[in-house]
A and B are shown apart, each in its own frame.
Chain A
């Protein structure tokens, strides 16, 4: 059975970089990954770039892959552009890993890059990311990601007893984690009370409970087969133990829909069931997780759909401190979407970067330890792009990495 290992990780810091282009952001992440792995860039034999909005902002909708990789000095390998909203980065990682697992490629590069910040015009960023939803019947009539997710969150507050204070605790926790991450968009800690009293975005969510659309950044990973990985560095690299990747499932509108309704999470339970089965492990084996909390309530729901707690115990798990750095299963150790930042197509790749570094023990001030040892299993949840009759996401991804 073939195996795939994460042998290099790189980032361009997340934040606001109006002076840089998409290829410029990407090249920093790409070469940081090459240097991190100590690999020869000429050995990369397939390359994927995830990006959603370069076409929207610049008109260069296609040919992005040869531009991004070519301007980073890479050529000769197949260069492939993928999209998929918030899941775009996971799509690139999934394809890169499958390429290696197929046996046809020895080392694959996956980079996610996005440039969405528009100086002085936050509505322009909201309009851009709205193109990852359905235009004719939804986004042109004003549906936004934050609005849609918050509608679900408001319903789940009734179902599970979540409160605005719980959401503030998520935001405060993740901002605290990012205070130890020099690559994060927001590196200042913030108290629960400060989160609660911040300006309202969509009641009951305040600004710090939501990731910002107006962020730029890039993330890259190198994925290699067992033989190649063994020759790189120490030869010990985090392994992609399993990938469970599914899409939104159409359900009859004549039957009650018992799914939680929060777009990013509707299919995550199915994705994780697949991933756990393929890896031969369960949620009790997970030592840390990175989840797609574009708004804070998504992280609470992630605890449930990943199996970290039974339905209704999400807030209890949060209050116990288990998901905070130093707890039993820290979640969003780099700050997550809320604080590390959410440059859409870069996020899914950044989740793999953080998980690999944690498993290697190179996460610095935010290194996770469990009973005096490094974490052994990291879980990643990600999803994105929405539309069509199912109203569901294009891709919901569950990745499990093991040391």
Chain B
């Protein structure tokens, strides 16, 4: 079953890096994700051009969720990531043990793709993992 998120992510065959389908305003330069046509900052129509947004950023906030929606194994980590290209996005964190995870705000993080859900509802979604250099 197609999922709207399929249109938003692509993976480089060479590097394995994940890129997001963002948009940049030709008037004011604001970059948003997901891509839209109309600028929310200068409030003008048809001014956004497609732009790739890198799947890399820094950790802004995170929390351990001991309860979650249907289909989510608890506990898991919820986080807000400030992408290097501007937009702030939500993600779970890919870590070995959510309970012992600890990181400073501003830690560099990289997007990876993982399967969410099962059966007909399965889709490819994103998670973020701490950069190798920071993961000591």
**Contact between B69 and A126 (Cβ–Cβ < 8 Å)?**
yes
For chain B, residues 47 to 90, give those with C-beta under 8 angstroms from any C-beta of chain A. 61-72, 76, 78-80, 82, 86-90
Closest residue of chain B to A126 (Cβ to Cβ) is B69
Across the interface, which residues of B come within 8 angstroms of A252, CB to CB? 30, 41
B5 interface residue (CB < 8 Å to A):
yes
Q: Separation in Å of the A155 CB from the closest CB of chain B?
A: 6
Q: Which of A202, A253, A389 contacts B66 (CB 8 A)?
A: A202
With A140-B5, A144-B78 in contact, do A123 and B31 touch (Cβ < 8 Å)? no
Closest residue of chain B to A389 (Cβ to Cβ) is B40
With A137-B89, A151-B78, A253-B87 in contact, do A142 and B32 touch (Cβ < 8 Å)? no
A163 interface residue (CB < 8 Å to B):
no
For chain A, residues 232 to 283, give those with C-beta under 8 angstroms from any C-beta of chain B. 250, 252-254, 261
For chain A, residues 119 to 151, give those with C-beta under 8 angstroms from any C-beta of chain B. 121-124, 126-127, 130, 135-144, 146-148, 150-151
- Proximity bits, B89-121, A CB within 8 Å = 1, else 0: 111100000000000010000000000110000
With A147-B78, A202-B63, A250-B40 in contact, do A137 and B68 touch (Cβ < 8 Å)? no
CA A142 to CA B125, docked complex, whole Å: 10
- Proximity bits, A87-125, B CB within 8 Å = 1, else 0: 000000000000000000000000000000000011110
A20 interface residue (CB < 8 Å to B):
no
A154 interface residue (CB < 8 Å to B):
yes
**Contact between A140 and B116 (Cβ–Cβ < 8 Å)?**
yes
B134 interface residue (CB < 8 Å to A):
no
New A-B contacts (12) at CB < 8 Å, excluding given A250-B40, A261-B61, A389-B36: A123-B67, A123-B71, A126-B70, A127-B70, A136-B4, A142-B68, A142-B69, A142-B92, A200-B66, A203-B64, A250-B41, A252-B30
26 pairs from A and B in contact (CB 8 Å cutoff): A123-B70, A124-B70, A126-B70, A127-B69, A136-B8, A136-B34, A137-B33, A137-B90, A140-B117, A140-B125, A142-B68, A142-B72, A142-B76, A150-B63, A151-B61, A151-B63, A202-B63, A202-B66, A252-B41, A253-B82, A253-B86, A253-B88, A254-B86, A388-B40, A389-B36, A390-B40
**Interface on B for A, CB 8 Å cutoff?**
3-5, 8, 29-34, 36, 40-41, 61-72, 76, 78-80, 82, 86-92, 105, 116-117, 123, 125-126
